Amino acid sequence: MARTICVAIFVLFTCQTSYSLRDLDYYWREYTGEVPEDAILGGRDINGNNIYIGQAYVKNEGLVVVQITPGVRQVLAPMKGIKKIDKYIKILCGPQQKVFWMSSNSSNLHLALIDKHAVIGGHEDGLGYINIGRISHEGEVKIGKINSFSAESAQFYFNDNGLERLITSYEILMYNDKDLDVRIKPY
């Protein structure tokens, strides 16, 4: 009896810790056109201006990673084509030194993420988590989503002048959690 209770308590405790997201240093703030001071830099556009990482809700599809251009309220979400969104947009914020970009590709991503923590970018309804990706494209950085729920075909999707495009090699935004004992489990 005592043993059963011990096992039950152990299981309960373990489950709780692995799903808790406490102590994460990044967070999403509301974005209405102005970039907060603690926004995490995504890269630079063709004119050398900073771009940032956003998140937008696409109805019946999920929470999608988008590129944010300072001063521009509207974002173009790569989700079954390009969806224009100008409401309830979020921008990724936190200490810049807690994140870094790691090169990967669609067939290798799952292996590369073992025992590491990629920043969660959102989700696709019924499919799973997506991560934050970027590529260098025609002289500028493009921010987009990685459908990492798809084992061995975790591709990067972005807005290329109004068209949704898919690329298999990219960089993924990682969280530097060396002093953290908490991992986010794959979906």
Ligand X SMILES: *[C@@H]1O[C@H](CO)[C@@H](O)[C@H](O)[C@H]1NC(C)=O
Name the residue among 173, 167, 165 with its Cα closest to residue 82: 165
Q: Which stretch binds ligand X (CB under 6 A): 49-57, 76-84, 104-112, 141-149?
A: 104-112
Instruction: Figure out which of the listed residues 25, 45, 102, 105 binds ligand X, where binding follows CB under 6 A.
Output: 105
**Residue among 98 and 137 whose Cβ is closer to ligand X:** 137
Smallest gap from residue 155 Cβ to ligand X (A): 12
All residues at 6 or more sequence positions from 52 whose CB lies less than 8 Å from its CB, including other chains: 35, 39, 40, 41, 42, 67, 68, 70, 91, 92, 143
Q: Nearer Cβ to ligand X, position 41 or 166?
A: 166
Angle at 34 between CA 33 and CA 39, to 5 degrees: 120
Q: How far is the CB of 108 from ligand X (least distance, A)?
A: 4
Does 169 bind ligand X (CB under 6 A)? Our answer is yes
For residue 74, the one-letter residue type is: Q
Under the criterion CB under 6 A, does residue 153 sit at the interface with ligand X?
no
- Please give the span between the terminal C-alpha atoms of the chain, in angstroms, as a whole number: 34
Please give the structure tokens belonging to residue 25.
């240093």
Q: Does 110 bind ligand X (CB under 6 A)?
A: no
Contacts with ligand X, residue ranges (CB under 6 A): 105, 107-108, 169
